[in-house]
Amino acid sequence: MYNNLDPLLHSQLRLAIVSILISVEEAEFSFLQEKTESTSGNLSVQVDKLKEAGYIKVIKTYKGKYPLTKCAITKKGIKAFDEYVANIQRYLKPNK
């Protein structure tokens, strides 16, 4: 009845990152930092964890002369997010 919650998504910052990426095609690192109100160091660590799990992909390019990092959710990330949300809903409505 109660499934384990994905420990990778059960972190507030990682869940916020995936929640943002689920609704956009891709997002710049600076946009994610602004929306999550996190430090660049902490965000970088959490993005790396999500990337290692295959939940997001990181695209490194340039904008003019400056490096630009973008993130996008993967199919695996979408599936993990959907399962996480479904499991949370089971906790909130255990009789359904």
Question: Among residues of the chain, what percentage have pLDDT more than 70?
Answer: 97
Judge whether 7 lies within some domain.
no
Check residue 1 and give its pLDDT. Answer: 63
- Domain membership of residue 27 as a residue range: 12-91
Is the pLDDT confidence value at 2 over 90? no
Query: Residue 82 is part of a domain; what is its CATH number?
Result: 1.10.10.10
Judge whether 78 lies within some domain.
yes
Domain count, the chain: 1
pLDDT tens for 9-35 read: 999 999 999 999 999 999 999 999 999
If one counts every other C-beta atom within 10 angstroms of the C-beta of residue 31, the result is: 14
- 27/1 Cα distance (integer angstroms): 35
